[in-house]
Amino acid sequence: MFVKSAIPLLLLPSLTSLTLGHSFLEKVWANGVEYAAWDPNAGSLGTPYPNNIPSWYTTNVGGNPLKPVKANTNDIICALNASPANISIPINAGSALTVKWWQAGIPFPTSHWGPIIDYIAACNGPCSKVDPSSLKFVKIAQRAWIDNSTYAEGFWATNQMIASNGTWAIEIPSGLKAGEYVVRHELIALHVAFEAIGKGPYYTDGAEFYPQCVSIKVGGFGTKKITGGVGAKSLYRGDEPGLAINIHTTPNHADYVSPGPAIWWGA
Ligand SMILES: [Cu+2]
């Protein structure tokens, strides 16, 4: 009994540092304008959600991951207890929405090898009023394994984002029809993805999902309309080949297949 109660105390320092090592968006850039992003840590200390931030509200203190068990819950849409941003920032179709991940002095842990995937969904009206579970997402970009350098697991998109000081550029599809959209930008960490091997869908452990949403407003005269998207709760099960995988056996993952749907025709 005494031994058992001592274990959580011994684990506490390492769990605390892991929590601080996860991440969320610090800044966003669109059409040359810099915006602050929502800081859930400040929120937990009483800072109210501002009215001039394009990244969605969440209560995800510490920027913690979602596990496969959450892949069919509302939290997978735009992070824990997310609700829409109050503003949608102007951006030209065909230009980049750039985001920056940052928490506690680093972008993200280098040990969290994995893909970076971007989705977009039409709000069909103001994104500030949208019901998150009504959003139908299409995939507009994905980058996963890059080469066999640097680590025993190879060099992945998350490593590239870290090497770029936490920044990542998301190209908004050229010719996209004018309107408001939610960009769902996501890191997936695979360092413990092996835990889900052979466990079936929505297992408690396995790959880690870090979704972040940003509301944008596209102008112009584009004609590409989003059709055929899926709700975020239908993107992943956790037992796909790209999510139930041991990445520690080789630095060569040239055969890696990113999870989720195919890239949208209009991207
Ligand atoms: Cu982690």
CA of 127 to the centre of ligand 1 (A): 30
Global pTM value: 0.93
Fold of 2-249: Coagulation Factor XIII; Chain A, domain 1 (2.70.50)
C-beta separation of 94 from 255 below 8 A: no
CA dist., res. 188 & res. 142, Å (int): 11
CA of 61 to the centre of ligand 1 (A): 14
Digit-by-digit pLDDT tens for the chain (267 residues) are 333 333 344 444 344 444 456 999 999 999 999 999 999 999 999 999 999 999 999 999 999 999 999 999 999 999 999 999 999 999 999 999 999 999 999 999 999 999 999 999 999 999 999 999 999 999 999 999 999 999 999 999 999 999 999 999 999 999 999 999 999 999 999 999 999 999 999 999 999 999 999 999 999 999 999 999 999 999 999 999 999 999 999 999 999 999 999 999 999
CA of 190 to the centre of ligand 1 (A): 9
CA of 228 to the centre of ligand 1 (A): 32
CA of 221 to the centre of ligand 1 (A): 42
In the numeric block, the tokens 């509301």 are attached to 215
**DSSP class of 109:** -
Backbone phi, psi, residue 263, to 5°: -65, 135
CA dist., res. 147 & res. 51, Å (int): 41
CA of 18 to the centre of ligand 1 (A): 7
CA of 208 to the centre of ligand 1 (A): 7
Closest CA to 123 of 226, 241, 13, 17: 226
CA of 177 to the centre of ligand 1 (A): 37
Burial category of 3 from C-beta neighbours within 10 Å (exposed 0-12, middle 13-18, buried 19 and up):
exposed
CA of 65 to the centre of ligand 1 (A): 6
CA 153 to chain centre: 21
CA dist., res. 128 & res. 20, Å (int): 29
CA of 258 to the centre of ligand 1 (A): 19
CA dist., res. 154 & res. 139, Å (int): 24
